[in-house]
Structure 1
Amino acid sequence: MPDPLADELRLRLALKAAQQGAWEFDLGSGRGYRSPELVRLLGVGNASPTFEEYLSNVHQDDRPAILSAFAELRTGRIDESTLQYRLLRDDAQLIWVEQHTYAERGERGEVFRLYGLSKDVTSARQTELALQELNAILEVRVAERTRELESERTALDAFAAFTETAGSQIDAVALAQHAADVLRQTLGEVSVSYYELEGALWRARVCSDDMAPEIVQVLVAGIPVGAPSYREAVESKTTVFVPGWNAASEGVAQTETYGAGAFYPCFVDDQPQGLLAMGTRRAGDWTLREQTVFRSVGRSLTLALERADAALKLREQNLELAARTRALEGFADLTRDLSLRGEPYGLVRRAQEVMMSLLPAGVAFY
């Protein structure tokens, strides 16, 4: 015959090996039962709790799920459920519990008892939460990197657009106008200006069409070289981004409507050739995309100015070389005439002809 004590011992050994504990709850008496294994696993001393006593140990945020499952089981809408919830042990330690619940029905189909198995899944849950946190961090990093790549791609597009529009242009003001157009086309609602140094003033040579006439008038009249952000950009030879633009402290009148500014110094042969500036009426700081595009266009403009400066120098050298060549050819012609002509005034006249051929239109006297 079956031995009930032996069966119970085998059950308890199996529960211990699986690190689980058994429980049951009698709906008629409103009292439950926890096996010794479950009492030990959960760290609670009450082995025969009421439903309210059991619920008092459950974390308050997890109680609604417990109450919902209990109502569905008690009314017979479901026959089993699996829940994970946080439980407060008697030593005030919070653990995660996985609870499997089954409904037992009477002859008429009514549910009269709930029973099941529970186990401590804190370690597994902590690992899962750690993985979720790691995935969230990775998603943030991927999103940040995606934004960085998008900014870099936009900056490359802006560089390509500037290179295409600037072409072989060597006029500094025309190049600056191209830079302003590219910034406006790429970033939208921004104001762009380009300055050249004249004495102790930065005078605007280019102003985008969106700028109010009174602002243009101030910028064209000139900004002192000592204006804080202008000076910082030139002295540091780096891009300066100014969040929270303050027209008074910056020394630039009529610009109170702007929320942020940016300055890129263009150096050629280690000298400040010009200053590219950008402003936005949006409050706050520049976005990563805006900063990347502005730097890219600033570098493109500087390279173009360097190329233009080299082209101008080369043109001057070519003109000087051509003048020297013509002078040498004229000297050769004059030397040959000296050997062929004997009449003095004829030689003077020939010398005048050679000289005037090398100079702008004019007259010569002897």
Structure 2
Amino acid sequence: MITRIRDRVMQIQGELRAFQHGLRQTFDSARQQHGQDMLSGVQRSLNAMRPGWEIPRSVADGVRAWAFSAALWRPFRKWCLRVSLAGWLLTLILITDIPSGESPPLSLKTVAQAASWLKHKSAALWDHPGSGFHLLQNLAMRWIFIVLVVHWLFRGLPNAQVRPLEPPRWTHPLQQLINSLAWVATLERRFRATAVLASTANRCGVAYLKPKEPWGASPADMLERHLLSAEYVVLSAWKRWPVLKERAVKHRKLALQAHAGLVAAALRKEAMRLDGPECEDALRRLAEVLITIAERYSDGHLGALLPANELEGLTPVRHREGWQLTLMVGGIVTVTVGAAAAGLPDGAAAVAAPALAGLVMWWVNRRHGGQETGDAFDLFRPR
């Protein structure tokens, strides 16, 4: 009897392992297919501009690695941020002045007190809109620092150390889950630049094949957003590829930043040719430059993303991320203090300050349309 039960349990365990293996294979094949579809589009665009133009192997491997890791990491990060936001809002509600009494939580008396409190608050907010902003401001000042610190740690932990491309074997399930997510996050961030550069080269092929129409968008307009993204990943390439230790040599970091600025200047130079008469040659040349940068970046050659002869006579583009953050914080503080000291009517300052702060943030970031949501806290990552 005991032998039969043990055999049955072992059979069920084997069936569960087979089901998990099949489910993992299905999910992995879907992620691999996403990367293969992306590579197929890039290959068609390159062949349209030059027959027989093959994608370099390092670029193809980088795009596959990014697609494989992004399909797992990005949904996880999105849901973590959603759960964190929901928990933050719930905490804000719980720490407000909700009436509490000796009645049970689900009693009619407690429900009536909560309804009366909500009615009083809603009436007060309707009559005096400024009080609502004051309430939110007081609550946010209590918790915004904690939220920023937690978000900073959450975004920085997967990049705190250099990890190999192949994930090692772990024994404990919890350790396997945590280390696997950290490895996937590192992989997604490392090869995001390769995917962005390859996607921009693909857009060059799309613009090359698009028929010329007087009322249609020009190639420069079609590529503007993608070129901003490509320029941003080039300027921040030294932070994405984990070759710099936590306390990197300063002159090495400055040299990589200067080289990235020259490469971004070369991209701008090629993009300027899109407005000229030889637009097709300019698109082909721009795609060549993008693929070359993607190949050398994927190989880890951060100090030689382009040949030196192509960078001669160029003025490097400066990455002013730190100055932009300083300008943004200073502008928000200035408009908030100015709105409070302007002698506005009651509640008007509380309404004007967030609006002016949002306007300052938009004005500072409007030139960085290529910056993704995941890149917003790159400046705060531990090095």
Regarding TM over 0.5, the answer is no
- Band of TM-score, shorter chain: under 0.3
Please identify the structure whose Cα radius of gyration is greater: 1
TM-score (norm 1): 0.19
